[in-house]
Structure 1
Amino acid sequence: MSTDYSPVPELNLLKDLQDEVGYGEYADGFGLDEFGDTSGLVAGWSKDPAFLARLIPFARATGGGSFYAFWRVDDRDDLARLPVVVFGDEGGQHVVARDLRELFQLIAYDAEISVDWDEAYYYRGDGHEPSDAHADFVTWLGERFGRAPAEDPDAVVAAAQAAYGRSFGAWASAYLD
């Protein structure tokens, strides 16, 4: 396992898979980007150092520029246990997973997330074709973490919203217009 990508062992394992099968090849719209690069937050949300200090971007969420970040809701050391937030390329920011492993299950659904001001959701149409290396990712997820793709992504997002949505919204509103 490479440890050069991030301080998060689970992400380092995924980076190894991504290096093997290709960026964006294992889950629709998803790819690991430079860990901790806050340029998207600065460009679209806030330059406030207190805002930036509590968010750790790590992955592209859509082909249009939406991205995922950990939200430092507290001072826990294990970053993989932090809630995951999506920031939409056309606006909106929402908690989508209670931790990194839940996000892995969401992206294993293999549908690009849709993000707007009111909600974030995963939708897969009837003619959906799996990503080229999707089977590799599903196998990886099962072997590494004993998890399967989310059967109902809306339920996963709803659970994350119930756990962290209000507190994230209250916290973020102090920095956002």
Structure 2
Amino acid sequence: MNNPYSPVEELNLLKAFQDRVGYENFAQGFGLTEYGEVSGLLAWSEDPEFTGRLIPFAQATGGGSFYALWRLDDREDQATLPVVVFGDEGGEHVVARNIRELFQLLGFDEEISVDHEEAYFYRDENEPHTDGHDEYVAWLDEHFGLLPAKDPDAVLAAAQAESGGRFADWIRPFLP
């Protein structure tokens, strides 16, 4: 890739996929946005310690919630950082232990719901999938050998158990 979307190879692969099938066309409400654009974070805090430790990269819902990587340490491989969601009406939560887990959540093909107490996914069994869902599932298997999350609550619970408390403690001083 001559001009990569990001320093995260997994996200670069997803960007190429999104460019081919369309924004919000393979996972309800999801679309990659400008990597590292912090303007959405400023509603929470303008503190450079806050904005410097979060890397926004995607819209999470059509309403304005978004995903970011949380630099909880100085590891080189950003794909292994926890993924957090910031709700358009408030609430901020760890939702995946890494990018690949987020990709599995995207395969559930439903917008994440975010409030102050929790983040969760709900899908009505009669709701149709996005047009590019089947192609995304095939892409996920081809590139990473992964299947979509059948139980997104379990993925969220594992992420929360691993770093949810640490994230809550870290973010607390920055919240209004």
**Aligning the two structures, in what range does the TM-score lie when normalised by the shorter sequence?**
over 0.9
Aligned to 1:23: 23
CA deviations 1:101-132 (Å, max 9, x no partner) are 00000011001000000000011013210001
RMSD: 0.8
Separation (CA, whole Å) in 2 of partners of 1:110 and 1:26: 7
Shift of 1:2: 5.7
Aligned to 1:172: 171
Unpaired runs of at least 5, structure 2: none
Aligned to 1:150: 149
Unpaired runs of at least 5, structure 1: none
CA deviations 1:116-149 (Å, max 9, x no partner) are 0000001101321000100111000000000000
1:59 counterpart SS class = strand
Q: How does 1:81-160 map to 2 (within 5 A)?
A: 81-160=80-159
Aligned to 2:39: 39
Shift of 1:4: 2.3
Aligned to 2:58: 59
Deviating runs (4+, > 4 A) in structure 1?
A: none
Separation (CA, whole Å) in 1 of partners of 2:89 and 2:121: 16
**When the two structures are superposed, what TM-score results if normalisation uses the length of structure 2?**
0.98
Separation (CA, whole Å) in 2 of partners of 1:39 and 1:28: 23
CA deviations 1:54-112 (Å, max 9, x no partner) are 00000000000000000001110000000000000000000000000000000110010
Compared CA separation, residues 71 and 80, structure 1 to 2 (3 A): same
> Match for 2:81: what amino acid?
L
Do 1:87 and 1:115's aligned partners in 2 also have CA atoms closer than 8 Å? yes
> Match for 1:52: what amino acid?
T
Do 1:86 and 1:93's aligned partners in 2 also have CA atoms closer than 8 Å? yes
Separation (CA, whole Å) in 2 of partners of 1:124 and 1:4: 33
Separation (CA, whole Å) in 2 of partners of 1:103 and 1:2: 25
